[in-house]
Structure 1
């Protein structure tokens, strides 16, 4: 409910007090003449230029009247405000009442929605049951229709058979009549029970043979149906076998291609391995030759101070060879000092030269052996 807004006061619409000619120092007990005289003097004073000032008492009375008017207007506004507040309270009460009614209506709507949802759920369950029942009835109707079709087909076959039997009866009626007439012409001896006893086994035999014939025909039909079904199964199995064979051939071709790729990779790996083995064999041969040279030098330069030769390692052998070479060089220098003659000097010089060359060669081989041993250790 829309509440009416409070009135807006406009300064233009408010009544303005009309300022009349101020009457100063006027009392009710004064006579009219004195009042008239006082008014004349006041008008005379106001008519004089430069004397437009209002007395203080008149201003105060004017203010009081304005204040009283404002108070009256304020009282009126208070009454209006009270009326508006009363209207607002009544509107708020109406709103609260309508809100409570709306809450009740909302609660009722919720209950109705719940009931409707429950009703819809029950209807859905009923619909599903009806659908299931309808499907079951449709299946039953289809089965019954199939049974009816089968029975009608059997009825047609029986009618056809009946017609054939009627035709056969009509056809063989002549022979029956002829036999009956012959029986009439036969003597009474052949019409006793003995004749019947001779004929009845033949009839029974014929009936049994006809029954067995029918059974055999039925079995033949059943076996033909089984043969047809087995042929269909055989065709489906052949088709599945051909499909499986195609899939197996495809997988075999894929595996063969993979095998070829693996063979190529193996060949490449074998070539790489052979190359690596050839390089390693060359290195092993070189290291073996170096070790044999070191062993030969160690055997030639053996010193008992280093212990047995079999327990020495390569570095010990090299140290022993080095010490032996240094000893031989020292002995050669001593021999040079002792020998004073020229022939001896020449001979010793030649010998020392040869030995020095041999020692230098041995030192070079020793350095080569050390470098090769370091390389072999690193490897």
Structure 2
């Protein structure tokens, strides 16, 4: 067994017996409960328990130490990796520092060269400024001399114009311009006025030319429209000519039909004339002295007059041939038996007894 462990020594099992029980009794083993008997002392038992607790704590501490040792190893490995990374970074930083030093040296060299160039440029600028000032003074002097020469040349050139104007003034007729102290100035004013008038006239001519161009364009447009209208009118005229030709052909056909029917019309006309003459003759015979003349009445009235006259004659004849009341009765029946038929404006009259 391991150190610090203990063992309970169980002796012979005794039966539970009450103190008041005077005599021994036989009991079944099933009815008797056995309890262990501890032979060691209490001090030894306490010491044994304390040792066991210390060993348990020691084992726990050993486990914790193992965990801490493993963590320490991992931390050492991590620290080693970090130190290696730091060394690599340090190497890179050193390289960058070296590069920066080289660049700084280059920039310092460049700055020194630029400073030298700047000084040389400033010196050159100052020299050029001095030279420019000197040249400017010389230029001003030369310009003054040039202006003087120009004025002299201008005076010499205008001198001939002045002489010319004086000759013109001498050659001008009297009262051509208003008399003033300086005739040359008045002549120049007159020339200026005429020049402005000429400009106005030229502008007016140009405006009129523009208007004329616009009118020409308008005329061309009207001509084009006239040509278009002429074409349309010609097309309509051709259509109307075709229509007229058709009408002429139709008229020719109508004339032919008229010529063919003219003979029949003449016969009908002659018959109608004979009928009208017969009606007029009969109407004259049937006219009384108190009646209106035949020439002043219409054809219907003539026929009515003839009809009345014939009816009167028939009545007279019937009255003469009849006797008494029988004659009257026959006359009435005869009148009712007569039937007259006449067409309006017709030349024929039909009688039925």
* TM-score normalised per structure 1: 0.31
- Greater length-normalized contact order (CA 8 Å, ≥ 6 residues apart): 1
Higher relative helix content: 1
* TM-score normalised per structure 2: 0.33
Larger radius of gyration: 2
